[in-house]
Amino acid sequence: AQSVAQPEDQVNVAEGNPLTVKCTYSVSGNPYLFWYVQYPNRGLQFLLKYITGDNLVKGSYGFEAEFNKSQTSFHLKKPSALVSDSALYFCAVRVSGNTPLVFGKGTRLSVIA
């Protein structure tokens, strides 16, 4: 069975500092990994995905994520946080085939000015 863990419910970071939101996964097979962001009272917005190839993927709003197969991780990163990055972040995984997208429980990021 597929699963995703986001070990931190809340991450606080000062504006201008680098940020990391952690995600680990468990699948049988090759994973397709996604990050989404959710602002208050809105749906989820796609940030980036890892399918194959380069382990470092770049996405929207300056975010990037690194796929680490040995650690089964896909942590989201940004070199310099903005107050406007404050939101709820979801990691998700699926494997090729007839399986649904499985989401983590989300991590709330607060960037403090």
Partner 1 sequence: GAGVSQSPSNKVTEKGKDVELRCDPISGHTALYWYRQSLGQGLEFLIYFQGNSAPDKSGLPSDRFSAERTGGSVSTLTIQRTQQEDSAVYLCASSLGGFILNSNQPQHFGDGTRLSIL
Q: Is 22 a residue that touches partner 1 (CB under 8 A)?
A: no
Of the candidate spans 12-20, 62-70, 73-81, 87-95, the one that interacts with partner 1 by CB under 8 A turns out to be: 87-95
Count of all residues that appear for the chain in the document: 113
**What is the phi/psi pair of residue 52, to 5°?**
-165, 170
For residues 99 and 75, what is the distance between their CA atoms, to the nearest angstrom?
22
What sign does the CA torsion over 103, 97, 76, 24 have?
positive
Among 42, 62, 68, 110, binds partner 1 (CB under 8 A): 42
The nearest distance, CB 96 to partner 1, in angstroms, is 5
Strands 24-26 and 107-112: unpaired
Q: Is 10 a residue that touches partner 1 (CB under 8 A)?
A: no
Q: Is 104 a residue that touches partner 1 (CB under 8 A)?
A: yes
Q: Is 5 a residue that touches partner 1 (CB under 8 A)?
A: no
